[in-house]
Structure 1
Amino acid sequence: MTAIAVQAQRLLAHRRPKKSFFETFIRSLIILCVAIAVVLSSVSVCDGHWLFAKGQLFGLWHFCTVGNSTILKCVTDLNQASVEGINFGMILARSVVSLAVVVAIFGLELLMVSQVCEDTNSRRKWSMGSILILLSFLLSSSGVLSFLILLKDYITFLGFTLTFWCEFIAACLFFLNGMSGLHINNITYPWNRARKF
């Protein structure tokens, strides 16, 4: 009889306590917002045209000028923009922003796996996913900041394109959801206490 009781305790120790509806809703909302941020950031990086100023369109991948016939003439040689250090600066900006998307995808996957495969490691997976999302925020914000510093002489508020604002919003969402993910993990019932049952 004692062996059966010990075995039952071991089985219960590996089961995770059931989450409340509110906690499940919040975690699902965080996952949805991270997915939206990944899509926004991906679109922003792929398009890459972030600033239109003085008849010139500055992007992560191309530099464009507007001709007399209002047709954009784009080149991949960014040195033609006559901005000091633009070639190296854009390589840095697009590298960290692209890396931010990749890191965010891995973070999103960990968040989803922690909710689908419910086990004793779910809380740890959620924490790791949230940390990766915060890392995505650091990478994407550093890419945006380096872009702004590089083109500080051309910046106007109305000159920023829709894809730039997509990246800006994505960076904000990465920060908010990463912090929210860590916070909800700390305030909810610590699943690893089940092992001490």
Structure 2
Amino acid sequence: MTAIAVQAQWLLTRRRRTRSFFEMFIRSLLILCVAIAIVLSSIAVCDGHWLFAKGKLFGLWHFCTVGNNSALKCATDLTLANVRGINAGMTFARSLVSFAVVVAIFGLELLMVSQVCEDVNSRRKWSMGSILVLLSFLLSFTGVLSFLFLLRDHITLTGFTLTYWCEFISAFLFFLNGISGLHLNNITFPWNRMRKN
């Protein structure tokens, strides 16, 4: 029993030594980029004001109009925007982008755990984390598309706010990091090959 434990410990230290500095740097960079994407997406969801058009500010949570003295008058009653299906549409959009942040946090946690607690299952944890980050991209992108579809008659290129672009960039980062994480896991030396040696 102790011989097996010693051999497992030896394999674990051997695995740690074979991982190159460049690979560790890339993995750390991917983790950092996912964390930045989560922060950007959280800001975009919490603020929620994504489109300004013709004196109206459309958001995930509020609808605002600009008064005579340039003051914003906001209300949570989205039907005031006079857009068909806005209540159900915004509920769907904000649910997707909010859930995308939650899924991305779990993905980030798996990515970090796979690097901190390095063991036989590290590669699997990294893959699961990358898949969750990709799932975050799908949720986030679907939420953004549903927002655009809902307000398609009011869209102008200059009308998008900074928080909208935060969400757009975070969705793009989720996609890049999820794909890169899976690709990195495939091109690096797999654990099961080490077991055979």
Q: TM-score band (shorter)? A: over 0.9
Alpha carbons 1:144, 1:168 under 8 Å: kept: yes
Q: CA deviation at 1:89?
A: 0.1
Q: TM-score, normalised by structure 1?
A: 0.95
AA aligned to 1:12 is W
Distance in 1 between residues matched to 2:94 and 2:106, nearest whole Å: 19
The answer for the alignment partner of 2:129 in structure 1 is 129
Q: CA deviation at 1:194?
A: 2.4
Q: CA deviation at 1:191?
A: 1.6
The answer for the alignment partner of 2:155 in structure 1 is 155
Which residues of structure 1 form unaligned runs of 5+?
A: none
Alpha carbons 1:14, 1:195 under 8 Å: kept: no
SS at match of 1:50: strand
The answer for the alignment partner of 1:12 in structure 2 is 10
SS at match of 2:102: helix
Q: TM-score, normalised by structure 2?
A: 0.95
Bigger shift: 4-13 or 187-196?
4-13
Q: Deviations over 1:113-169 (max 9, x none)?
A: 100001111000000000000000000000000000000000000000000000000
- Identity among equivalent pairs (%): 74
The answer for the alignment partner of 1:89 in structure 2 is 89
Count of aligned positions: 195
Distance in 2 between residues matched to 1:79 and 1:47, nearest whole Å: 19
Distance in 2 between residues matched to 1:124 and 1:14, nearest whole Å: 15
| 1:109 aligns to 2:112 (yes or no) | no
Alpha carbons 1:86, 1:150 under 8 Å: kept: yes
The answer for the alignment partner of 1:99 in structure 2 is 99
5 Å matches for 1:1-197?
A: 8-15=6-13, 16-18=15-17, 19-197=19-197
Task: Considering Cα pairs closer than 8 Å and 6+ residues apart, tell me whether 1 or 2 has the greater RCO.
Answer: 1
Q: CA deviation at 1:4?
A: 8.3
Q: 1:7 to 1:28 in 2, by over 3 A?
A: closer
Distance in 2 between residues matched to 1:161 and 1:81, nearest whole Å: 18
Distance in 2 between residues matched to 1:69 and 1:168, nearest whole Å: 32
AA aligned to 1:158 is T
Distance in 2 between residues matched to 1:7 and 1:39, nearest whole Å: 42
